[in-house]
Structure 1
């Protein structure tokens, strides 16, 4: 009966207690509800993991019908975390704040290929320069915040964690100003516009997320701590090229059917210059040029450049052209 519980933790019956504990710790941290909010699947997985660990470490529980219907049915859950992590997880300070900024930017394929820099505009909350975050011009004219009793935080019990939220009344300062700053109306923070010059690394993929430290919102006025700025990079659709799933650069070359039969040289533009290619009837429909594509930031390699031949025919032919083609056809049949 215990076999399925060992399987849940990814161990076997011969595993040492230390190995079982290590496996449980890794999975518990991965699927904990406070790390996977509004994720029912993770919540169920978390219950399953804890049930398995409890029964494996206490086999008498295997015959019990009291499986988890709720997290609180776990007797001594905090004690388990103390045993695994050395201290109660409920003592961790987790701050819920809107500290990070997110912005979408679009670049062309050439810029993604060689790297570039661009100027962006962002709006973010910063410490008021007029009052230095105090919310008061005087800077000393304060009373203790009655909402948080001067702590700057409110505690909120959530599952097994004691989550600390910044007091909205005093913005984490623990005190209320009596003479409000005219620039920030006593908030201590001010939304401002920042102009930044950011570097886009060579070889970024579409939907790459770049992080710029310290350019988010102020989230701790007392200690002057800022969140981060995250840039979501999107590559614009190119007029001539497209990227396939292997990150190769593709180009569709339209070739007249007679040029395909008789042969012809084409000068084709790539992201790194021009290449001269001869098209003839023996050519494959795909012509590949190694390492002439785009640099891939993920695997540090340069992809290939692929020419896809698109043979086209005239929409209409006149009688003279038809006669020529008939003579050509007959010449092959002799």
Structure 2
């Protein structure tokens, strides 16, 4: 559905006496140079997107991508317009899960159309914040694109910070003295980091091009604002790369810790077996029923056998204790 639509003139929203769905009347509200329309849609059906496509003469291939969603972040040029795909991210801490959405943007000389899928990135907030900065909004559709990308990249930073906290928890758990099983959570976090990387990395080149004014249709005056977005995006990318490296190191440390624990368990088991085997050996020897055998007729033979068992067990226990096996 169409969430909101408006005409902007010199950075100020122009009041129009029509509904948000009356696209042709809204488009007719552009009467002065520099005016532009901002239309926001949320998971539109084919009929709704077709009305928008006709009103703004959008390329059918880009319209198809915007409806079907599930695109990778990209920047494409069509005759008279740009098509930009952005991934939205938010973090569900209790499940260690990064959820994703998508925003597709059509950008023309006098219009910007946003198509949102999923729950991430409230574009209405971006619109309201930008309307409070008329000097920026006066730059045209490129200013609206800046506000959207800035909001999305800010959410990337929130997700990266949440992942940092979880990776810190993993490191503390792996190197603690307690016996923990962290392999499954490490794998889950690496998978979620890969999800973030798929959203962040393809966006770096388009943001760089916006920041140096290499994209036709985006005024060079807006490049200063995109530089800030590009800088934040690079920072998120570097954070994600470092977290991935830390998780790989934590996984290797976890495997090494498991191996050490298994060795310690085997040593304890071996020590326990030795404490049982030696007395059993003595008892086995003195339990053999041979007539001609030393100590069988000796009155102190039984106490001597018990004492020998106790002495051997005590000696082994002291030895294993000093060796760290017990």
Q: Structure 2 length normalisation: TM-score?
A: 0.22
Q: Structure 1 length normalisation: TM-score?
A: 0.21
Structure number with greater Rg is: 2
Structure showing the higher helix proportion among its residues: 2
Structure showing the higher strand proportion among its residues: 1
